[in-house]
Amino acid sequence: MKIEETILDGCFIIEPRVFEDNRGYFMESFNQNTFNNSLNLNVNFVQDNESFSTRGVLRGLHYQTGEHAQAKLVRVLKGSVLDVAVDIRKNSKTFGKHISVELSEDNKKQLFIPRGFAHGFLVLSEQAIFSYKCDNYYNKASEGGIIYNDSTLNIDWKLEHNDLIISDKDIRLPIFQDARL
């Protein structure tokens, strides 16, 4: 497994070892011991989620607050997405900064997003299946979000506004400055 530190403290890009031959490929997509030892963490994932979306679907930016905050390990099983993590930890030196990473079925990269981050993704391919592990259970009362086009964050989503498909809930999210962090 290859691990790349990002500019955001605690956020890592992970590339699993892939073994290819004339039959296809094999990879270990997750191993709890290897993951924790390699990243020097003690994360225990308790829930796996999966979504299917079409080109232009933007999901996010979402997070959980307080005791229900979630760390996530995300990857793409089919297609490609632009994955975005935003540091919303007020005491962090990278507070308000973000990273964007293309995750795809071809590059097989994964992104580890620690607790205290907002997360979203945009589907770049015709279809995508997105998978993520969470280290805490979802709690509706603790959910929060930030509008995708917040001018302070200035995220380049790579597609034109007219090409985006956004839920009614996500289009009404507050700006970063007004978000419940």
Active site residues: 62, 132
The amino acid present at 113, given as its one-letter code, is I
What is the Cα–Cα distance from 131 to 141, expressed in whole angstroms? 23
Q: Which are the contacts of 88, defined by CB distance < 8 A and separation ≥ 6?
A: 63, 95, 96, 116, 117, 118, 146, 179, 181
Cα–Cα separations (whole angstroms), residue 59 to 120, 129, 138 = 5, 13, 16
Cα→Cα distances 138→15, 49, 55, 172, Å: 27, 11, 26, 20
DSSP string, 41-73: ------EEEEEEEETTBEEEEEEE-GGG---EE
Assess contact for 157 and 129: CB atoms under 8 A.
no
